[in-house]
Structure 1
Amino acid sequence: MQKVKIAESELQKEQAFEIRRKVFVDEQQVPLHIEMDEYDDDATHFVGYNLQQPIAAGRIREIENGIGKVERVSVLPEFRGQHVGVLMMDAMEKHARSVGMSSLKLNSQSYAIPFYEKLNYTVTSPEFLDAGIPHRTMEKNLHA
């Protein structure tokens, strides 16, 4: 049974950070000082669980009036391809709507663009490098 929760306790936030460290720092070689940033204090963090085991993470924050930014979406390798990412995105979008956000932006790693396109995100930028990894900005209107 997989479920997604908003990280409300320090333990849950640390679980989210640990997933991100495993995926971005260990697996993708993103420097820790880039991965863990100043926005972690203000963002709403999400943790995906398989039973009681943390297996996925992500965060969302408001960047402008009514516009949210989805960041740091990550799933442990052994749970990829099992729709965990879809569950994470659904939970973050539901939260965004509940707090009055009308649209979301994200910077997708280029290889993951088809995943987000299936969730009705649209590419809105040329490719750029973030932490040495090719990305493109994508957006979604939550009221469409």
Structure 2
Amino acid sequence: MFRVEIAKTDKDRESAFSIRKKVFVEEQGVPLNLELDEHDETATHFVIYTTDTPIGAGRLRETDAGTGKVERVCVLPEFRGRYLGNLIMNSLEEFAKSNELKKIILNSQSYAVPFYEKLGFVITSPEFMDADIPHRAMEKILN
């Protein structure tokens, strides 16, 4: 059984950071100083658990009035293909709606654009590089 929880304690946040380090730093080669940034202090962090083991993470932060930015969405390799990306994105979106955000934006790695399109996001930029990885900006208007 999988569940998504909002990180409420330092231990919860460290679980999110640990997952992110494994996926983005170790697997994808993103420098640690780019992966963990100044927004980690103020963002709302989400962690996917199976029993008590953290296996995925993501964060949401408000960038402008009414706009939330989804960032650092990831799932450990051995748990991919189980719709856990959908699970965490649905949790992030519900949180955004409950906080009266009108739009959510994100920068998707280019290979993941189809995943976000299936969730209702649309591309809003040409391809650009971030941490030497191709990305596209995307957004979704919330009802």
TM-score, normalised to structure 2, is 0.99
**How many residues in Structure 1 have an aligned counterpart in Structure 2?**
143
Identical amino acids, percent of aligned pairs: 58
What is the match of residue 121 of structure 2?
Answer: 121
Partners of 2:83 and 2:50 in 1: CA distance: 12
Structure 1 residue 124 displacement after superposition:
0.5
Partners of 1:67 and 1:88 in 2: CA distance: 18
Structure 1 residue 58 displacement after superposition:
0.3
1:48 alignment partner, SS class? strand
What is the match of residue 63 of structure 1?
Answer: 63
Partners of 1:116 and 1:52 in 2: CA distance: 27
Which amino acid in the other structure matches residue 78 of structure 1?
E
Structure 1 residue 32 displacement after superposition:
0.1
| Residue-by-residue CA offset, 1:78-122 (whole Å, 9 max, x unaligned) | 011100000000000000011110110000000000000000000
Which amino acid in the other structure matches residue 5 of structure 2?
K
What is the match of residue 83 of structure 1?
Answer: 83
Partners of 1:136 and 1:113 in 2: CA distance: 7
Regions of 4+ moved over 2 Å: none
2:3 alignment partner, SS class? strand
Partners of 1:17 and 1:107 in 2: CA distance: 19
Partners of 2:76 and 2:50 in 1: CA distance: 11
Structure 1 residue 51 displacement after superposition:
1.4
Structure 1 residue 73 displacement after superposition:
0.2
Which amino acid in the other structure matches residue 62 of structure 1?
E
Structure 1 residue 3 displacement after superposition:
0.4
Structure 1 residue 50 displacement after superposition:
1.1
What is the match of residue 34 of structure 1?
Answer: 34
* Unaligned residue ranges in structure 1 (runs of 5+): none
TM-score, normalised to structure 1, is 0.99
What is the match of residue 19 of structure 1?
Answer: 19
Partners of 2:49 and 2:4 in 1: CA distance: 6
